[in-house]
Amino acid sequence: MSKSVTPYKDSDLGKKEQVAQMFDNISGNYDGLNRVISFGIDVKWRKKVLKMVSDKNPETILDIATGTGDLAILMTKTNAKKIIGLDISAGMLFCFPEK
Ligand SMILES: C[S@@+](CC[C@H](N)C(=O)[O-])C[C@H]1O[C@@H](n2cnc3c(N)ncnc32)[C@H](O)[C@@H]1O
């Protein structure tokens, strides 16, 4: 029997809503936390992805679970005509203080 793992133990919300709520709650600190917790590796992998995507020269890029949009923003360095970022958390999407 599998047990559902959710961010909040005592919440009545479904898992998807809890995940959105959790990222809404941390959105203001997400970018800074990401740099620290990953020791900056997040910056390096994004640069690798930029190179990989650029080599394919796509017209359109879809970044699913884009969060605060770091990768989607970096993708503006490609020749893509259309870049779409989507995320379940409005807080993540609309929290870009230093960008
Ligand atoms: C760890 S963050 C990664 C964000 C971004 N891709 C990055 O590299 O910084 C995971 C993201 O996935 C989003 N997410 C989780 N479940 C999702 C779903 N079902 N549909 C869309 N986004 C989702 C969260 O809201 C969160 O912004």
Q: How large is the C-alpha radius of gyration of the chain? A: 16
Write out pLDDT tens, residues 78-97.
999 999 999 999 999 998 55
Write out pLDDT tens, residues 30-75.
999 999 999 989 999 999 999 999 999 999 999 999 999 999 999 9
Pocket test for ligand 1, best of 15, 88, 95, 96 (most atoms within 8 A of CB): 88
Q: What is the pTM of this model?
A: 0.90
Per-residue model confidence (pLDDT) at position 98: 56
Three-state DSSP string of 4-37: CCCCCCCCCCCHHHHHHHHHHHHHHHHHHHHHHH
33: CA distance to ligand 1 center in Å?
A: 15
Per-residue model confidence (pLDDT) at position 3: 79
Q: Whose CA is nearest to atom 18 of ligand 1?
A: 88
